[in-house]
A and B are shown apart, each in its own frame.
Chain A
Amino acid sequence: MSKRTLITLFFILLLVLHQDFWWRDNPSLVFGILPISLAYHVAWTLLVAVAWFLVTKYCWPDALDEKPSPQSDSTRKVEPERVG
């Protein structure tokens, strides 16, 4: 299985895990501070950051930063004119 597929599966898993109905009526506090559902969503959000890090590492479209081919339009070069 390619890294791209694994990362896609990771995202699908995250989408499913967002709906944490199992904590729906659980008011217990983690470390006596964070309601358990809130603590869960903070951890989930950190995993989202990890998932996007993996995207930047293994799924990044590096070709976009290459110079455009002669067939494509060149970036419109605007000669600056001082604006006052």
Chain B
Amino acid sequence: MTPIIVIVAYLTLLVFLALVSNRYFRGGAADYFVASRSLGPFVLFMAVYGTTMTAFAMVGSTAETYQIGVGTFGKLASWSALVHSACFFMIGVPLWSFGKRHGYMTQVEFFRDRFQSPALGYVLFPLILGLLIPYFLISLLGANSVVSGVTVNALPELFPSTNGAIPPALTSAVISGVVLFYIFIGGARSTAWANTFQTIVFIAMGLLAFWLIAQKLGGMEAASALAKPAKAVRAGNMTELQFLSYGLIPLSAAMFPHLFQNFLTARSAKTFKLLLVGHPICMILTWLPCVLIGFWATGALMPGSETTVIPAGASANAVLGLMVGKLTTPLVSGLVAAGVLAAIMSSLDSQFVAVGTMFTRDIVVHHFGQARFSDNAMVWLARGFIVCIVIVTYLLTMIETRQIFALGIWCFSGYAALFPLVFAAIYWKRATRAGALAAVFTTSAVWLGLFAAADYGADRTFLVGGMLPVAVMIATCASTLVIVSLLTKPPSDATLARFFTLKTA
């Protein structure tokens, strides 16, 4: 029962925080969608960091290390530390500048303007939204798994069919409801505040779990001594080419619509400085404890016995829950579950705000004209669309039975595949409308083909030439964009003058 009380208390705190942040809501679409471009360095840093970290940062990192060893840190965390910050600097800062100068609130508005193509917006909108739906699913299924795990036998009379655990349908409904509540009342500002709080919570809870588990196992040295040496190395767990190609996955940060919108909330360009430096440090604080817990789990024994903490055949995704549940107290289990929920909700909220904004600005306002809608109407349109998407996702969680993270890599690969498009839009004057459209179509076709070849995500060992499929997707996007752009008419000087410094004769 204790974990349920802790989780309920945590969710109540979030609702309270939303009510407080609502006092600072200035009203209007600009505040709802991009917090009036007013956030300072600390809130921007925490909001963006919280958005980039999902349940995978805690549950997935532990599971992956348990299965394939500590190379998990290098292939995911350290690559992301470098590449994410590179995306913030090379993509985020210029996009913030364009957004401020030209009034953009979504990435589709930027692409339409840069390539002078309304059609590109209509192509990109469903693509970006389609890739976000699996992401929503991952978040809700992750939340269901965590809450079910820590509440087993808590309420046997109320929920006999789930061994007393909170049923997944109820967890999804409550999590969605809380996130909807705080984004409804304050939009991007509430989301940023909530993410700041949630980021602190999930980093702190990861460290707490790490410390207590180490103590229970007789200290860090004793815990590491028991772990399987085969999981301390990359040999036998992944190839060098695989390890290298994982560096392409974090490029997805350049194309996530929710990160684009987070960038636009910055007060100034220098607001990004803390984000660039702090991101790698927080990656260590979040991932190292969970990777070590996963490593220790490979050989951990219950104190004073020869019984392993992780029973043979246990699901890798249950490793963090089992280590915390068996080696700490119910209170800590509840706190860690709250930490995982914090990581999940801090991504979900920004994504909900982003899809609402995209629907309103990129489809409705673009089609019918801004003059037909008041600020109030635009905010309500966004809210309505968010509710529709949440309902669709909620219904999908009822039928989706695939392993939680199987879809994640495909979703991230899809965004990373479009990295050449945003990079060229910012840095290559010769990139043309036809090149952009051709790149989007061919990359989508290649993504679909590879996804089908990998048994729609079920084959988790699927590689192309020893590398992750994302390498082929990025190469396709880049080559199509370059070839078609060079074969077609360059953008006009008037268009280029909006985005580049042109040489005068």
Contact = CB atoms under 8 A, between A and B. Distances in A.
A72 B281 CA distance: 37
Contact of A49 (B26, B32, B243, B277): B277
Interface in A34-71: 34-38, 41-42, 44-46, 48-49, 52-53, 55-56, 60-62, 64-65, 68
Contact count band on A: 35 or more
A60 B273 contact: yes
Nearest to B244: A19
Given A45-B283, A48-B82, A81 B28 contact: yes
Contacts of A68: 101
B102 interface: yes
Contacts of A65: 268-270
Contacts of B182: none
Nearest to B291: A38
Interface string B13-55: 0000000000001111111100001000000000000000000
Nearest to A28: B232
A31 B276 CA distance: 30
Nearest to A32: B221
A78 B100 CA distance: 12
Among the interface residues A34, A45, A80, A82, which one has the most CB atoms of the partner chain B within 10 A?
A: A45
A70 B376 CA distance: 31
A5 interface: no
B119 interface: no
A78 B233 contact: no
A18 B247 contact: yes
A83 B101 contact: no
Given A32-B221, A45-B77, A78 B29 contact: yes
Given A64-B93, A76-B103, A29 B71 contact: no
Interface in B72-96: 73-74, 77-79, 81-82, 85, 89, 93, 96
B163 interface: no
A73 B28 contact: no
B376 A81 contact: yes
Contacts of B389: none
Nearest to A76: B103
Given A35-B70, A65-B268, A83-B379, A75 B235 contact: no
B229 interface: yes
B12 to A, nearest CB: 24
Contact of B269 (A44, A52, A61, A83): A61
A46 B233 contact: no
A33 interface: yes
Interface string B192-220: 00000000000000000000000000001
B375 interface: yes
A26 interface: yes
B234 interface: yes
A74 B269 CA distance: 17
Interface residues of B, number: 64
Given A64-B93, A81-B374, A19 B273 contact: no
A29 B288 contact: no
B224 interface: yes
Interface in B139-158: none
B178 interface: no
Contacts of A48: 78, 81-82, 85, 280
B478 to A, nearest CB: 18
Given A45-B77, A83-B32, A25 B100 contact: no
A80 B27 contact: yes
A48 B31 CA distance: 34
B116 interface: no
A35 B102 CA distance: 50
B68 to A, nearest CB: 13
A42 B244 CA distance: 17
B101 A37 contact: no
Given A27-B233, A32-B221, A38-B291, A72 B101 contact: yes
A52 B103 contact: no
Given A27-B229, A49-B277, A78-B28, A35 B270 contact: no
Contact of A37 (B234, B273, B292, B376): B234
Contacts of B96: 64
A79 to B, nearest CB: 7
B284 interface: yes
The 10 nearest A-B residue pairs measured at CB: A76-B103, A35-B232, A80-B28, A25-B235, A64-B269, A27-B229, A32-B221, A49-B280, A82-B27, A78-B30
17 contacts: A18-B79, A19-B243, A19-B244, A25-B233, A35-B295, A37-B71, A38-B232, A42-B73, A42-B78, A45-B280, A68-B101, A73-B498, A75-B100, A78-B28, A80-B26, A80-B28, A80-B31
Interface of B: 25-32, 37, 70-71, 73-74, 77-79, 81-82, 85, 89, 93, 96-97, 100-103, 220-221, 224-225, 229-230, 232-236, 240, 243-244, 247, 268-270, 273, 276-281, 283-284, 288, 291-292, 295, 374-376, 379-380, 498
Given A21-B240, A41-B74, 5 more contacts: A14-B82, A35-B232, A38-B291, A78-B28, A81-B27
